[in-house]
Structure 1
Amino acid sequence: MPLIQVDLQKQDDKKRLKNILDTIHECAVEAFEIPERDRYQIVSQHDPEEMILLDTGLGFERTKDQIVVRVTSKQRPREKKEKLYSLLCERLNVNCGIPPKDLLVSITENSDADWSFGFGKAQFLTGDL
């Protein structure tokens, strides 16, 4: 936990896609201080016309490298969220060549009762986690 969903344009290079996912996970581990094996990622790849990400009036144009990172997580302090935004921006740029203007991140929070990792149990509530 967290559950991270990544939306981006179709990638022909599977190594690049893996690098993107590894980089996102590395940032989540550092920012949210989660265990390395706490990795839940789902990727959706789209044709260019299936992703319309404007600038909300901020005055920039996105490129074909635009990416959306949606994070579903238990509540996190503002500082950890801001650290995640910063790390994602920096490392996706350095490691994957994704310009900072092409990154959109959204975090949705929920509670311990909203998670089951299998076996029909809410492991945060049962004390298993």
Structure 2
Amino acid sequence: MPFVRIDALTTDPARLDALGRAVHDALTQAIGIPSDDCFQVLTGHDGASSTLRHGSYLGEHRDDGVVYVAITMRSGRTPAQKQALYRRIAELAHEYGGAEPRNVFVTVTENASADWSFGHGEAQYVTAATA
């Protein structure tokens, strides 16, 4: 059920795929997302016609290796689970895709069951809860 967007300064489809796998594996390992629950948009930026901006906020010195990961998911995870998720994403993005952990920027946005439709114009989580 997480919806993931990954933006990276790369034109290499294999690197984008590796980053997508890293985030998905971290979601399954750290917070128990089912392995077949994979909804991702992976966007590579070439640095010429599009770019990613980054700074050194909170003392994290990022460079053009920055990887932005935005995860939207239903609420209910504890801060400790989220921290474990962030760590695992950084570890696997480094292992699979060569991203330096300092360059892995992750945001989580939470919402409710009624905020999801997986097709057919239905809110499947709401329908399942009332069935």
**Number of the residue aligned with 1:109:** 110
Structure 2 letter corresponding to 1:46: H
**Number of the residue aligned with 1:40:** 39
Indicate the percent of aligned positions where both proteins have the same amino acid: 30
**Number of the residue aligned with 1:95:** 96
**Number of the residue aligned with 1:122:** 123
Q: How many residues align?
A: 127
Question: In structure 2, what is the Cα distance between the partners aligned to 1:41 and 1:88?
Answer: 14
Moved over 3 A (4+): none
| Pairs within 5 Å for 1:65-76 | 65-75=65-75, 76=77
Conserved in 1, the CA contact under 8 Å of 2:8 and 2:16? no
Structure 2 letter corresponding to 1:91: L
After superposition, the C-alpha distances for 1:72-129 in whole angstroms (9 at most, x for unaligned) are 011122122111101011111122211111110000110001000011111111117x
1:84/1:50 Cα in 2 relative to 1: closer, same or farther (>3 Å)? same
Question: In structure 1, what is the Cα distance between the partners aligned to 2:32 and 2:23?
Answer: 13
Question: In structure 2, what is the Cα distance between the partners aligned to 1:54 and 1:33?
Answer: 32
| Pairs within 5 Å for 1:11-22 | 11-12=11-12, 14-22=13-21
**Number of the residue aligned with 1:4:** 4
Question: In structure 2, what is the Cα distance between the partners aligned to 1:98 and 1:91?
Answer: 9
- Normalization by structure 2: what TM-score? 0.88
After superposition, the C-alpha distances for 1:3-47 in whole angstroms (9 at most, x for unaligned) are 0000111323x2222122111110011112011110000012223
Question: In structure 2, what is the Cα distance between the partners aligned to 1:59 and 1:2?
Answer: 26
Question: In structure 2, what is the Cα distance between the partners aligned to 1:43 and 1:125?
Answer: 28
- Normalization by structure 1: what TM-score? 0.89
Say which SS state the counterpart of residue 127 (structure 1) adopts: helix
| Pairs within 5 Å for 1:28-67 | 28-48=27-47, 50-58=51-59, 60=61, 62-67=62-67
RMSD: 1.8
Say which SS state the counterpart of residue 34 (structure 2) adopts: coil
Say which SS state the counterpart of residue 43 (structure 1) adopts: strand
Question: In structure 2, what is the Cα distance between the partners aligned to 1:77 and 1:119?
Answer: 32
